[in-house]
Amino acid sequence: MTIYDSVTKSKLPFEPIREGEASIYVCGPTVYDDAHLGHARSSLAFDLLSRTLKALGYRVTMGKNFTDIDDKIIKKVEETGKSMQEITTYYIERYLEEMAALGVTRADIEPKATESLEAIESMIQTLIDKDHAYVVSNGDVYFDTSKDPRYGEISHKVHDDDENLSRVTHNSEKRNPKDFALWKACKGEEDICFDTAFSKGRPGWHIECSAMIEKHFHGTDEYSIDIHGGGADLLFPHHENEAAQSRCATGHELAKYWMHNGFVQIDGEKMSKSLGNSFFLKDALEVYDGEILRYYLNSVHYRNDFNFNEEDLLTAKKRLDKLYRLKKRVLPGKASVVNKAFKKALLDAMGDDLNISVALSVIDDMIATANEKLDANPKDKAFKKETIANIEFIDTLLGFGGKEPFSYFQIGVDEALKAQIEKLIEARTEAKKEKDFERSDAIRDELTAMGIAIMDTAEGTVWEKA
């Protein structure tokens, strides 16, 4: 496996810190609103990474956090009158449901900030004790970036860049403009705060992940984990600050590799709430099946920016349709063994920094070859079993192709129409039993006029949207 490391800006061979194991931590959402396509893109990218490493034989441990205490969440509490726990629980559940609809495997470790306060306080205290952090008069705690000679090595950002510095809250007592908050003291009686030895307040955003990683992962003397991932927008300041505070608190590096996925754009414009064109995942899932969205969102390499538009999505669906039409040809039946050359080609592609374009072309070639062989010999049971095994491997590795094919081709038909179709099929079955073939043919014609194709099988009549 080779992966692109954002720090060295090069592809590196994956050499885990513990032989045969792979530890991955991905920055999860701040749970004050619904998930958008940017969240989906990041989750899907690192789901592919996890699946690929597992297929290559690694024991993978995946962690993804939930930021459940934050200024945006507190603002939502003020706006809605609901408790912080009500709001965060609701959006965590929604997030998990929507990621499941995309076929994203749940993380092994899903820590929350509010459940990690002891670890956060401990790491901050360690930094204070080592003189890498300081407390100002109002109780805020800041990380002293001047004490870390390696600050800036993760993102390669210029330290005095005004645009970057403007992202860090200004405080006249800060020693350096680029110092960042580890702990924010209470602003008033109404504020949501927690008690610590240094002040009553709440954690800064950056410290969460560092503390959670140290709490849940058992690293080595050199690194806490193998891979730290997230969206490209997190490289600075979030990941830069994480790396600095972890390095200074523990004496070793946070991650051996840093991976970042590209932005999502809608028709060429960077997706941003400030631009008013945020595309919530829930809206996409109302229109498109989760597996089709998964296939589409994964069809562009994870490091590239993704331009979401309906025309490309429908083109991607047609490509996925071909896999399901092949699956329909080889079922019913049981899988035998995956074709070795096919499996190797897929793993070689995904092992090359998740080269999905090559992987999808390998699948396209397999589909074309399989259809040719089935045209020549439609009763080749051994080949059908191998093809079923190939499709099952695609589902394991890439997370699509696992549906029953006829139900896949029923996607987009609402429940009322499904009930109507099933009723007509039942009536046709009765007509055939009574040898009323004129009535049977009339019902078939009626279904055809509705855009529904039917097929009589040993298990009964099945149908699909034509």
Band of residue 195 on the pLDDT scale cut at 50, 70, 90: very high
The rounded distance, in Å, linking the Cα atoms of 13 and 1 is: 6
20 φψ region: left (φ > 0), alpha (ψ -120 to 50), beta (else): left
According to DSSP, the β-strands at 269-270 and 264-266 are antiparallel
Instruction: Find the range with the poorest average confidence among 154-168, 301-315, 429-443.
Output: 154-168
Residue 57, Cβ density class (10 Å: 0-12 exposed, 13-18 middle, ≥19 buried)? exposed
418-466 pLDDT, tens per residue? 899 999 999 999 999 999 999 999 999 999 999 898 888 777 888 888 7
361-372 pLDDT, tens per residue? 999 999 999 999
Band of residue 378 on the pLDDT scale cut at 50, 70, 90: very high
pTM of the model: 0.91
The rounded distance, in Å, linking the Cα atoms of 226 and 16 is: 6
Instruction: Find the range with the poorest average confidence among 41-50, 88-97, 124-133, 272-281.
Output: 272-281
Residue 278, Cβ density class (10 Å: 0-12 exposed, 13-18 middle, ≥19 buried)? middle
pLDDT at 293: 96
pLDDT at 274: 53
Question: Across all residues in the chain, what is the average pLDDT?
Answer: 92
The rounded distance, in Å, linking the Cα atoms of 142 and 134 is: 5
Q: Are 189 and 146 in contact (CB under 8 A)?
A: no
pLDDT at 406: 87
Q: How many residues does the chain have?
A: 466
Band of residue 164 on the pLDDT scale cut at 50, 70, 90: very low
pLDDT at 171: 60
The mean pLDDT of 288-302, rounded to a whole number, is 97
The rounded distance, in Å, linking the Cα atoms of 146 and 140 is: 18
Across 198-345, where does the E strand assignment appear? Answer: 201-203, 223-231, 253-261, 264-266, 269-270, 306-308
CA 367 to chain CA centroid, nearest Å = 27
With a cut of 80, say whether residue 15 has pLDDT above it: yes
pLDDT at 160: 47
